Amino acid sequence: MANASDRPRTREPGPQLSNMLGSAFREAQEQRLLHHVRSAPLPRHLAIIMDGNRRFAHDHGLLVELGHERGRDKLEELLNWCLEIGLRIMTVYALSTENFQRDPAELDPLMDLFARSFEEIAIDPRVHRNQIRVQAFGNRGILPERVVRAIEHAEAATRGYDRYLYNVAIAYGGREEIVRAIRALATEVQEGTLRPEEITQEMVSSHLYTAEMPDPDLVLRTSGEERISNFLLWQAAYAELYFADVMWPGLTKLDFLRAIRDFQNRRRRYGT
């Protein structure tokens, strides 16, 4: 009888082969999902809470600053994915008003990253080739001048485009946005051009940052947290919510397509 040591051994696939097989499998999944996503109605407006840069950095032994850099790189990828499927309107939550309570040692490099990113958007051939209009909304009064200048440059460079709309919510808070709309309506009442009983939901919507676009159909949040964190509170009243258990820089194309496909498979209801 042969000893176990004498029997032919089946070689386990090495790490490189395993990675290749895993990559091929993921690519096949992506292509299958991509086919299904393209064959069904897309969200008109996708809103994204990009959460998890700092935790991603911590988990991978990186400086927080590098976590934000990876998050910016992921946003570049996301734009390509949206263009690939033809998703026309995207709004991303880049920085909340509450985030200004963070340590200046984190905020200063982050502001430099924002300024650099908006300047790059203004000259990005992909933006101009696809006629993407770039807009930023929020309280610009609390942003550094260098960031405001870069925002204005990107907006001016893309103002004439209307094929795609890419919104960045920066120094933004949903409650503050609603208060801003109320103040504008109160001023009209005070001036006698509007009576309180004439105020409608449509009027409130027309005084929000998103006045010229449809409300988001889908709100996607990364990091596994299941809340909307003061983001588009009025506009997201009937949006579908999708929570991905992955940090923002770790989001994959497969994760993105799964979120879109999940939306397409839902039966939307308005009300309870």
Categorize the per-residue pLDDT at 75 as very low, low, confident or very high, splitting at 50, 70 and 90.
very high
Average pLDDT over residues 181-189: 97
Other C-beta atoms closer than 10 Å to the C-beta of 132 total 22
Class of domain 42-172+216-264: alpha beta
CA-wise closest residue to 132 among 91, 81, 89: 89
Tell me which of 1-5, 34-38, 58-62, 131-135 is least confident.
Answer: 1-5
Categorize the per-residue pLDDT at 1 as very low, low, confident or very high, splitting at 50, 70 and 90.
very low
- What's residue 268's pLDDT? 82
Q: What is the pLDDT of residues 106-143, one digit of tens each?
A: 999 999 999 999 999 999 999 999 999 999 999 999 99
Residues with catalytic annotation?
51, 99
Q: What residue has token string 């960031």? A: 147
Neighbouring residues of 226: CB distance < 8 A, sequence distance ≥ 6? 241, 243
pTM: 0.89
- What's residue 11's pLDDT? 60
Give me the residue spans of the domains in the chain: 42-172+216-264
pLDDT score of 17 more than 70: no
Tell me which of 18-32, 177-191, 201-215 is least confident.
Answer: 18-32
In order of 51, 85, 117, the CA distances from 82 in angstroms are 19, 5, 18
Instruction: Look over the chain and give the mean of its residue pLDDT values, rounded to a whole number.
Output: 93
How far is the C-alpha of 99 from the C-alpha of 91, rounded, in Å? 18
